[in-house]
Chain A
Amino acid sequence: MDNMNFLKKILERSGKLFEKGRPLSWAHPIWEATDTILFSTDKQTDSGPHIRDNMDIKRTMFFVVIALIPCYLFGAYNIGYLNDMATTDVSRSMFGNFIFGMSYVLPILIITFVSGAICELTFSVIRRHEVNEGFLVTCALIPLTLPPLVPLWQVFIGTAFGIIIGKEIFGGVGTNIFNPALTARAFMYFAFPTRMSGEKIWAVLPDGNTGATALAIPANSPKNIASDLFSEASNVAPNYFDFSLWKMCWGLIPGSIGETNKILILLGAIFLVYVGIASWRTMVASVSGLFFTAFLFNILAGFSTNAMLTITPLQHLLIGSFLFGTVFMATEPVTSAHTNKGKWIYGFMIGVLTVIIRSVNPAYPEGVMLAILIMNMFAPLIDYYVVKSNIKMRIARNA
C-alpha cells in the first residue's frame, strides 16, 4: 500500500506541472488520462445529483474490449490452425498454432494502437479536450476486421485515417457520423484493394495454396446452388477447409482475423447486452433484416443465374463478417440511431443492405461493412423522423 501512496504522490506532484499557466499545461489531457487510468478520479459531484453511479466511460469502453478478447485469441489460433492444415511438413500443437498466429496478430495490433494513440493524443492536445477512451475500442476493433497478411504500413495509415477522418474532424467522440473502425477498414479496402481482397490474404498459407473466404465461393460461380458449392469446396486438396454450416459457425475457415468464430461473437453479444452497453434491438433487427432479405432472394433465385441468391438465411448469417459487424460495429452507440424505434429501422436496414450488396453485386462479396456505413449515414435521418412523430403528437395536442 505504501508503494501505492508513493505513486499517488508522484502523480499529484507531477500534476502541478500540467496545470494552467505551467510549462507543460499543453499536455494536460495526456496527464489526465494517465492519472485517471492509474487511480480512479477523486472528482467531487458539484452540480446535479450529489451521488453518482459507479459506471463511467472508462469501464464502458473497457467492457467492449473484454468482449473482443476471445475473438483475438481464437483469431490467432485460427491462423496457426489453417497454416498447419495446409502445410504438409509442419505439425504444431494447439498452443503452437496460437503462437504462430499471434506472430501475425500482435504486430497488427501494436501498430494500430501506436497509430491510434498518436492521433488521439495529438488531437486532444491541440483541441484541449480529454483523451476519450473510445479510441481504445476503435483500435481494438480494427485488427479484427483485417486479413492476417495485411501490410503493417497500411494498418498504420488506415488507423490514422479512421481516427482523424472518421472521428476527429467531426469534433471527436459523440459527434462523429461514421464508425471510426469501419471508416478505417473501408479506407484500406478502397485504397489498397490488392492487399485487402482476393484469395491469398485471408489465411497464412504456403505458396501455391489459396484461401478463398466462404463468401467468395458462390460469388465466383454463377448458375449453381450455394449449398452445393460449399460442399464442393469443402475438403478439397490441398487446403481441406470445411465449409459446412457447423464448421463455419466454429470459424476454422479463412477470413478476417476476428470474424470467423460466430460462437465467440455471440458470447460477446450476450455479454455486452447483459452489461447494458450494446443494444439488443439493433442486433435483433439486423439479423431479422438479413433473414427477411435472404429468404426473399431465395424465392427469386429461380429467375436468376446468380448463385449468391441461393444462399440460405442461415448461411448468410454464418458466412462473412455479418455477425461481427452487427454485434460490435452496428451497435456503436454514437453512430447508430439513438432512439429505440430508430434502432429497429437502422438495424433492419443493415441486414437488408448486407444481403443486397453481397448478392446483387458479386464482385463485392462482403456487404456488411458498406451496409453499416450507409446506415450510419442515415441514422440521424431515421432519428429525425422518429422524433418528428413525437413532435407532431405534441403540436396536435397544443392546437
Chain B
Amino acid sequence: MFKLKIKNGHNVNIAGNPDKKFLPTRHHSSVSLSPENFRYIKPKLLVKENDSIQLGDPVFFDKLNPDIKWPAIASGKISKIVYGDRRVIKEIIFEVNDDKEKSLQPNSPNGLSSKEGVINYLLEKNMWPFLKQRPFNKVANPSDNPKSIIISLANTAPLAINHHFTLSDQQEYIVSALKHLKELTDGKLFLIVRPGEFTYLSDLEYIDLVEIEGPHPAGNIGVVLNHIQPINNKDIIWTVEGHHLPILGKIFSDGIFDPSITINIAGPCVKKPSYIKTRLGCPVDIYCQDNLTRDDVRIISGNVLTGKEINLDGYTNFYDSSISIIEKSFERSFMGWLHPGGSSKYSIFNAYIGDNKKPYKFTTLQNGSERAFVPIGAWEKVFPMDIYINELARSIVANDVDEMEQLGIYECDEEDVALCSFVCPSKTDVGGIIRKGLDLIYFDG
C-alpha cells in the first residue's frame, strides 16, 4: 500500500455540496450517447433512425480502429441521430423501452482467465470504450500493452461524488471488475482511495491501494501517477472511471450490460443537492425540474472545473459522474478591483478581507479580464506534480514538441491543471494549453 500526502492544491469551497441521500428515481424515456465525448475517434454508424435496438448492441465503431464498437445504452429504438456541421455525428438519442430491457437473461461468460480472453470479451460485448488511457485521455487501444492500470475511487474535485457512498452496495461487482481488469496488465493495478474507505480491497492481493490525503487534485490519476509511477515517453496507462466499475463487474460476472450509475446533482443553484440513481447518458431536465433556485443557470455535465456546458434539454456525457449547476451572472460591480471583500468574493490569495469558510456561490463570471501571463506563483500553489508547469505551458505555446516531452507533458491532462486556470490572475486557460500540446503531439506522432 502506498500512502500519499499531497500538499499543493485547493479544495474549492463551493456551495451546494450534495447531501448523502437520493432523489426519487425518475423514469427515463430517452437517453443519449454522443461520439463527441470520445477524443480522436472517427465514428461510423451501424444503425439508422427508428432501428429497434437491444442494450449492448453495437451502435457505431471507430473507423481508425474498427474493433472498437460502442454499445447501445438502452433497449428500445433509435429515436434520433443529431448531425452537426459537415455531417458530424453529434448525438444518438435512444427511446427507452423498459419491458425490452427487463427481458435480458444473464449468462456467465467463460474464457476470462487470460488477457486475450478479457480483451476479446470486452470488444465482443462492445464494452471497450469504458477503458481509457493516459497519456491523451482517450479510449484505450486494445493492442497496447499497458504498464499498469489505475482507478480513482477518491474523487477530490469540487462537488464530486463520494464513491465510498455510491458504491457501498456494489462490493461484489467491484471485486469482479477489478479481478478481470488485472488480467489486462502485467504491471500493477492501482486503486486510489481515501483513508478508511474501501477497506475490503486491501485483502485483494492483486491490488495496490494508494491512500491519498490532501486537497484537490490529490485524487486525480495523473497526480498520483506522477508520485508513484511517472508516465515515461512510451508508457501507456489504462484507467476506468470509478463509477463505471459496477457496469464492468456485471458484464464480467453476469454477462449483462446494465447502464445504471449513481451520480449527483449539485451546485449553488440546486435546491436539493443530492445523489441520483440514474443511467448512462441521462437527460438532465427531469432532475432540474422544480430543483433549481433560479432560471438563468449554466448546466454542466461533470464538475465545475473540467465539465462541459450542456443545455437544459441535454444529456450527461459518457464519462461524467455529476451534474453541476451554477448561476449565469452578468453583474458588474463598481470599481470591482477595489472591493474590500466579505462574503461576495472568493480567492485563494489573501486578497480580500474576510475568510472563505462559508461555501461560496460561484457564478459563470470570469472575475477579471485576460491579461498577459504574470507568474506570481499562483499555478504552483495548486499544482502538486514534479513538473515545471509554467515552462511546460511556454513550450506548448511555442510549439516545441521536444521540450514538451522533456518537461513531462505525457504526465499531465487537462483535469490536473484545471485549478491552475481557476487561480490564474491573468485568467489563462492552462488546460486548453495542455490539450493543445497533447493534440499537437497526437496528430504529429
Residues on A lying within 8 angstroms of B by beta carbon are: 4, 8, 32, 36-45, 47-60, 62-63, 129-130, 132-134, 172-175, 274-279, 333-334, 338-340, 383, 386-387, 390-391, 394-395, 397-398
A59 vs B362: C-alpha distance in the bound complex, in angstroms?
Answer: 19
A174 vs B307: C-alpha distance in the bound complex, in angstroms?
Answer: 30
Whether the Cβ atoms of B422 and A333 lie closer than 8 Å is: no
Select one of A134, A274, A387 contacting B374, CB under 8 A: A134
**Chain A proximity of B390: nearest CB distance (Å):** 5
A247 vs B233: C-alpha distance in the bound complex, in angstroms?
Answer: 61
User: Nearest 8 A-B pairs (CB), nearest first?
Assistant: A56-B368, A40-B336, A174-B372, A48-B429, A39-B332, A51-B362, A58-B337, A57-B371
B403-417 CB contact bits vs A (8 Å, 1 = yes)?
000111000000000
B318-336 CB contact bits vs A (8 Å, 1 = yes)?
0000001010111111111
Residues on the A chain within 8 Å of B350, using CB:
274-276
Residues on the A chain within 8 Å of B326, using CB:
50-51
Whether the Cβ atoms of A55 and B305 lie closer than 8 Å is: no
Closest to B419 in A: A49
Closest to B307 in A: A50
B338 contacts partner chain A, Cβ-Cβ < 8 Å:
yes
Report, as a range, how many residues of chain B touch the other chain.
Answer: 35 or more
Residues on the A chain within 8 Å of B158, using CB:
51
A334 vs B365: C-alpha distance in the bound complex, in angstroms?
Answer: 27
Whether the Cβ atoms of B305 and A49 lie closer than 8 Å is: yes
Residues on the B chain within 8 Å of A279, using CB:
376-377
**Chain A proximity of B265: nearest CB distance (Å):** 15
B427 contacts partner chain A, Cβ-Cβ < 8 Å:
yes
Known: A52-B366, A56-B337. A333 touches B375 (CB 8 A): yes
Whether the Cβ atoms of B337 and A53 lie closer than 8 Å is: no
Whether the Cβ atoms of B372 and A132 lie closer than 8 Å is: yes
Whether the Cβ atoms of A52 and B304 lie closer than 8 Å is: no
Whether the Cβ atoms of A60 and B365 lie closer than 8 Å is: no
**Chain A proximity of B220: nearest CB distance (Å):** 14
In the assembled complex, 19 residue pairs joining A and B whose CB atoms fall closer than 8 Å, in A order, are A8-B332, A40-B335, A47-B432, A48-B430, A49-B305, A51-B158, A51-B362, A51-B363, A51-B364, A53-B423, A54-B347, A55-B348, A55-B378, A58-B368, A60-B425, A275-B349, A340-B377, A391-B406, A398-B232
Closest to B391 in A: A387
**Chain B proximity of A291: nearest CB distance (Å):** 24
**Chain A proximity of B4: nearest CB distance (Å):** 19
Closest to A33 in B: B369
Known: A55-B423, A57-B374, A60-B374. A50 touches B309 (CB 8 A): yes
Residues on the B chain within 8 Å of A277, using CB:
349, 376
Residues on the B chain within 8 Å of A41, using CB:
332, 366, 368-369
Known: A32-B369, A56-B337, A62-B338. A173 touches B374 (CB 8 A): yes
Residues on the B chain within 8 Å of A36, using CB:
369
B335-361 CB contact bits vs A (8 Å, 1 = yes)?
111110000011111111000000000
Given A52-B367, A54-B345, 14 additional A-B pairs, CB 8 A: A38-B335, A41-B369, A47-B429, A51-B422, A52-B368, A55-B349, A55-B368, A57-B369, A63-B351, A173-B374, A278-B376, A383-B391, A387-B391, A394-B406
Residues on the B chain within 8 Å of A54, using CB:
345-347, 351-352, 367-368
**Chain B proximity of A97: nearest CB distance (Å):** 30
A276 vs B390: C-alpha distance in the bound complex, in angstroms?
Answer: 17
Whether the Cβ atoms of A38 and B421 lie closer than 8 Å is: no
**Chain B proximity of A66: nearest CB distance (Å):** 10
Closest to A129 in B: B372
B206 contacts partner chain A, Cβ-Cβ < 8 Å:
no
A60 vs B339: C-alpha distance in the bound complex, in angstroms?
Answer: 12
Residues on the B chain within 8 Å of A133, using CB:
371
Closest to A332 in B: B374
Closest to B324 in A: A50
Residues on the B chain within 8 Å of A53, using CB:
346-349, 367, 422-425
Residues on the A chain within 8 Å of B367, using CB:
40, 52-56
Select one of B14, B330, B418 contacting A42, CB under 8 A: B330
A275 vs B381: C-alpha distance in the bound complex, in angstroms?
Answer: 13
Whether the Cβ atoms of A387 and B388 lie closer than 8 Å is: yes
Whether the Cβ atoms of A333 and B374 lie closer than 8 Å is: yes
A61 vs B305: C-alpha distance in the bound complex, in angstroms?
Answer: 26
B175-204 CB contact bits vs A (8 Å, 1 = yes)?
000000000000000000000000000000
Which of B309, B329, B378 is packed against the most chain A CB atoms within 10 Å? B378
B37 contacts partner chain A, Cβ-Cβ < 8 Å:
no
Which of B306, B309, B421, B431 is packed against the most chain A CB atoms within 10 Å? B421
Known: A56-B425, A334-B375, A398-B232. A276 touches B431 (CB 8 A): no
